Amino acid sequence: MAEEKETTIAESLKYDWRNLGYSDVAGQYIKQLGQNGIPYAKKSLELILKDCDIKDSWIVKTVTDPAVLQKTIQSQLETYNRCKEGQLVGDLIDYHRDDLTNYLGDNMQYFEKYLNPLVGEKYEDVLKSVAKAKHIIKGKEHGISSDEEVKSAESTIKKYDNLTSTIDMLEQNKNSKFRTRVDNGMIKEDLNELYAPKKDSN
């Protein structure tokens, strides 16, 4: 009898869960701007729902309600982080492949050569390995780590350093593009509010 494949959280969602990562941007608006950031956080969530192709007016109205904004952002971030736990390096890179190809051009072939041995690893495990290696290296200052342990830790960091740096740059760029979309959306709304005919105007 064939084993039933367990459905992951990511697979059970009907939209691209990676769009939920933008919830971090929504939260940053409130953290940085306080009450002034609420309209930007609201616009962020509206765009997330649009990207996820969620058109249900009740859902849109509910999750962008200022009264439940914080809880909505936290909930979406938790879902995103749970899904990301099982994300393979290869899948994560595929998500950014168009940008990578655009940036690297002919050098993409060298990146692929570096990436090939890592594609099957979970990115979460990569981050844990790097964090552990940094802890071991720091431990040498206090006489806790041996030279052999430090040498192995340095090898681990060298193995993954280009990968983690690449992902960090791509994620920051992705968030920057999303912020631009939010800002453009806010400007559009503000301008239309200024110039749209008022209901009580003749």
CB hemisphere CA count around 70 (13 angstroms): 5
pLDDT at 49: 93
| Other residues' Cβ atoms within 10 Å of the Cβ of residue 160 | 19
The pTM (predicted TM-score) of the whole model is: 0.80
The pair phi, psi for residue 7, each rounded to 5°, is: -80, 125
Both structure tokens of 202: 């003749």
**Over 60: is that where the pLDDT of 1 sits?**
no
Tens digits of residue pLDDT in 16-45: 888 999 999 999 999 999 999 999 999 999
Q: Which amino acid is at 28?
A: Q
Ordered DSSP codes for 79-108: HHHHHHTT-BHHHHHHHTHHHHHHHHGGGH
